[in-house]
Structure 1
Amino acid sequence: MTVKIGINGFGRIGRLAFRRIYELGAKSNDIQVVAINDLTSPTMLAHLLKYDSTHGTFPGEVSATDNGIVVDGKEYRVYAEPQAQNIPWVKNDGVDYVLECTGFYTSAEKSQAHLDAGAKRVLISAPAGKMKTIVYNVNDDTL
């Protein structure tokens, strides 16, 4: 079964997560990004994905539509919803897990908005206050 991911925040961390999931998806259908939420236009998001000043040029074809970005012919819907509880990606796109990459929903209380909107799980990309922080190859075996 494919795990469908929604990325909330398409800044440096959100784009890096997209790149990695995209690479994994080329080898397996176990995980895929299906939607992105960011207040920036799809045109700008496509440009930032294609031409990353730290990680280099994205190897695939990247373009924008009115409603999303297109990577190698596959369209990823882009929402511009400032309130996590109002993002309709669970209903519209079947999102299972949310990668929280905005830096705004960094506590259990705040990230609850994603769960209230129907997501099964939320992975916060920043230190999350009182919640356990997992660092790969340091303490990931504690999951």
Structure 2
Amino acid sequence: MREQELDKQGRAYATGRRKDATARVWLKPGTGKVTVNGRDQEVYFARPTLRLVIDQPFAITERQGQYDVVATVKGGGLSGQAGAVKHGIAQALSKYEPALRSTVKAAGFLTRDSRVVERKKYGRAKARRSFQFSKR
């Protein structure tokens, strides 16, 4: 069995990544308040689907409203940032409550989603799309 990993303030820390986004996440017992870059999650992630993504680790472990999350996110777009925060929350949850690790791992939340945007190639319009063919 793994040990609980906490810092001096009694928080669990983890880093989450997705696409070009990196999230530093601190998790501590509380009322379920999620703060991203100093703003409330409703303000930072205006789309309901993004907030749903962030709440997935809590939903799968039945821990909604039991932890406060403070996250700082850099890089990428909003979708990638939400995925990075989700990854960080899942990692931090497994550090705070090692018993939940198997549940979170089975859902696939501990694995970093390695899919990134393919680079553009020369002689092409985009990564794979060719320029329009002209017969004459």
Larger fraction in strand: 1
Q: Comparing both chains, which one has the higher relative contact order based on Cα–Cα distances under 8 Å and sequence gaps of 6 or more?
A: 2
The structure whose Rg is larger is 2
Normalising by structure 1, report the TM-score. Answer: 0.27
